[in-house]
Amino acid sequence: MGTKSIMFQGTASDSGKSWVAAGLCRVLRNRGLKVAPFKSQNIALNSYITVDGKEMGRSQAVQAEAAGVTPDVRMNPLLLKPSTERDTQVVYMGKVLADMDAEEYGARKPVLRQRILETYQSLAAENDVMVLEGAGSPAEINSDTKGLVNMGMAEMADAPVVLVADIDKGGVYASIYGTIKLLPKEDQKRFKGIIINKFRGDASQLASGNRKIEELTGVPVIGVVPMTDVDLDEEDSVALQRQSRVKDESKDLDIAVLALQKIANFTDFHSLAIQPDVSLRYVATPADLGRPDVLILPGSKNTNEDLTYLKTHHFVEEIQALHAQKTQIIGICGGYQLLGKRLADPEHVESEMTVQDGLGLLDVATTFTGEKTTTQAVAKHGHTELRGYEIHMGETTLGPGAKSFATIVENNGQPEKRLDGAVNPDGSVWGTYLHGIFDNTAWTRQLLDRLRVAKGLQPLRLVGKPMSAYREEQYEKLANVIEDNVDMAKIDQIIAASDTDY
């Protein structure tokens, strides 16, 4: 008997299928099963670096942690990172394959399909259950619905499918019906259950609608999952639309993050958002900036394009005004590059521009090359050890008006010594290539307490639990939500019959 499997597909992006899959991974792990997540192709600018320096989608890293296993690039063999309106950076098995347009990528699909199948089989051979995730909607009839994801992957893995529908968006039954009925009959047979997600209220109110959709589709509704306060990393940038742009006046510290057009790895700021005295908000217009205590320029998939965006939308003047008022300004990865004096792209890695002036708040200059840095890193900032990861194109050099922020002492588990980041003379502006830096809880609390003291407030001096422990609590909480609101007996039946022909 082969490895069992189950696949979660969604009626649309951000339907919650990633979280449902993560919750089931934890449920199965708690039963003592060896379980691994799998998503054949991911389109996302939030990514994760494995212990061996490979890049993969963040949702599969979250699901792997929920399953109690180390994230493995085989869990997400293809990661697509849109870089321009036409081109996408294709990351295959953790390393950049090439930048491609849709036509070029389409021509590669037959070869990639076979490689994805081999990768899936390799991972499945090591596990009891595979929990697969689709991408977007399976019913995108303007494209090849059999491709590398959704029903194409379900066919390769011979996996049963549970459809996850987001009721919070409205039109949930129409989206369920349309998703199923737009697919060919042989694909419709793969649907073995429907989960309605993000419901607010008494689930009994849906009883008549659930019965009707079951009659119309022949697929049972096996769960109604409530809107919850489970707090896990989001992968899809759609999630930013739910983030506040207005300061929470009950919090002492106001931290604003620029919502760049090509924002990447905004999960860097999750650990700030959970601090009890921090109001974290994402700023989309200069008018939203206000007078924050800290302004953060986040990572970017295309630093040159985001710099042009900041200039044409009059952010530059506002950022410089905040700097003149001694607001703390921080740049992470692409945001660090933006803070420099110059961006040079002689090989046109990111754009057609050869060179353009940066914001000029740090005496550094960045030159882009085709080489991509992907590492898990350990750094020393003063006497403090910081853990994080790097994902960036380009090399940055410091001028005489800047000193380094930290020293990298370990790279993918190997000793190393090189400088990272930069700080301006008075310390009001600094940048680093280290993603995940705020997950260093004690160091982050010291940073926040210095901001409090500068405002005339008492430091909180909270010890705080490590982010790893916080995430473990959230995985358990999510597992309880799934077990309490989904028919687990039906899930078990679906998994048990997963090697049945469809």
Please, what is the average pLDDT of the chain?
93
Amino acid at the residue 433: Y
pLDDT tens digits along 1-54? 479 999 999 999 889 999 999 999 999 999 999 999 999 999 988 899 999 999
| Tokens standing for residue 371 | 């080489």
Query: What beta strand segments (E) does 287-436 contain?
Result: 294-297, 299-300, 328-332, 342-344, 355-357, 364-381, 384-398, 406-411, 414-420, 422-423, 429-432
Q: Where are the domains of the chain?
A: 4-232+471-496, 253-454
Is 145 a residue whose pLDDT tops 60? no
DSSP assignment of 448-495, as one string?
HHHHHHHTTPPP-------HHHHHHHHHHHHHHHHHHHB-HHHHHHHH
What pLDDT is recorded for position 1? Answer: 46
Residue 340 has pLDDT above 50, yes or no: yes
Fold of the CATH domain 4-232+471-496: Rossmann fold (3.40.50)
Q: Is the predicted pLDDT of residue 402 greater than 60, yes or no?
A: yes
Which amino acid does the sequence have at 55? E
What does the pLDDT read at residue 253?
97
Catalytic residues: 333, 435
Domain 253-454: which topology? Rossmann fold (3.40.50)
Angstrom distance (rounded) from CA 296 to CA 314: 17
User: For the segment 219-259, what is each residue's pLDDT rounded down to a tens digit?
Assistant: 999 999 999 989 888 765 555 555 667 888 999 999 999 99
| Separation between Cα atoms, residue 356 and residue 345, nearest integer Å | 9
Phi then psi for 255, rounded to 5 degrees?
A: -115, 120
Tens of pLDDT, residue by residue over 59-79, are 999 999 999 999 999 999 999
The tokens for 43 are: 């389109």
Q: Are 338 and 368 within 8 A, CB to CB?
A: no
Average pLDDT over residues 125-151: 88
Hey, do 4-232+471-496 and 253-454 end up sharing a CATH topology, with the first three levels equal? yes
Task: Please check whether residue 391 is in contact with residue 95, taking contact to mean a CB–CB distance below 8 angstroms.
Answer: no
